[in-house]
Chains A and B, each alone.
Chain A
Amino acid sequence: MSKWWVLALFLLCLSCLEEPDCLKSSGKVVKAAFIKLEENEADTVVIKSIAVEGLADSVFYQDFGTDLNDTLSSVIFEVNPFATSSIVHFYFPDDTLDMDLLYTVTTRFISADCGADQLIADLRIESTEFDSVRVINSQIANEAATNIYIYQ
């Protein structure tokens, strides 16, 4: 009988020694897709670049194509993980339109070995110069899903 109690105690001690997984779930990439307003289908636009305020250099992330002035149906860009808002400038050949994004940033301490990560969520549009935009997915991941529809 006593050996079973010793075994039970041993298993309990093992469970207490379990370390957390160093799996960081930080995501700060927003994906915006261009949509034809009337047909509600994917649209393509010619775009020169995208800049996010707070960065010294322009940032241009795109789904496909490698050159500026490319024709794209969607773009991706990073928001500032150290703030709860980011202003994004979309540079088109003849125009520049801004989009002011709001979001929440929560910090998670994982462990002494793994450090911490930041979780960005609850994406909202504070203001924009586009005619019509809609947040379709407020959870920010890494390029996996479209977050914003920009209607043309």
Chain B
Amino acid sequence: MRLGTDLISIIWSRTGDSFKGYEFSGDVDFNHYYLTADFGKWERVFAPENGRYSNDGNYWRVGIDYNFLKKDPERNMFFFGLRYANGKFSENFTYTFDDPLWGSSNQTLTNADVKAKWMELTTGLRVKIWKVIWMGYTARYKFGLSTKGEGSLIPHDVPGYGRTDKDFYWGFNYMILVKIPVRG
């Protein structure tokens, strides 16, 4: 069993103003099939000229990866996989609309408890770099997003998925994982 975290989320949280978040991941080897689970938290802030958008939520994924490197004693991986993902988040949007006929209106809109689900096709690499430590990336093709629980604000950004106006979306993680000895 290996447990790890996404380095991109950590770096992005510390260097950018619009994103705060983290993601943990774990996998268990079942003879070239890896049972995989992720958990993440995601906050975003955008500041358009006339307002402010923010969201806050968490998500999890479960799925299976298949390792094509069958005879590697280091348990390096070149894998393809499938994930089911599920998220829960809130959004707040304050904006001043200017209409040439009806004037301006300052509106505050909130989605308090939105649930989302989607699927992901994944591929990536894991390379052993030292004794119990692996590093590598996971590329994600996210699709089939559906949300429920929204009000008069159309969900804009789903934690773990991204913008909702796309039928599919790419994601990318750079992972560092530590092997946890488990005797079966």
Enumerate chain A interface residues (CB-CB to B < 8 A).
Answer: 5, 8-9, 12-13, 15-16, 20, 54-55, 59, 78, 80-82, 104-116, 118-119
Contacts and interface: CB of A to CB of B under 8 A. Distances in A.
B49 A115 contact: yes
A93 to B, nearest CB: 26
Interface residues of B, number: 27
Contact of B48 (A9, A13, A111, A119): A111
A117 B49 CA distance: 13
Contacts of B53: 109, 112
B68 interface: no
B48 A113 contact: yes
Contacts, number: 72
Nearest to B55: A109
Contact of B46 (A78, A111, A118): A111
Nearest to B18: A112
Interface in B44-68: 46-51, 53
Interface residues of chain B: helix, strand, loop or mixed (majority)? strand
The 8 closest A-B pairs by CB, nearest first: A82-B105, A108-B154, A112-B46, A109-B156, A15-B170, A112-B48, A115-B48, A116-B95
B102 A108 contact: no
Contacts of A111: 46, 48
A9 B95 contact: no
B97 A106 contact: no
A81 B107 CA distance: 12
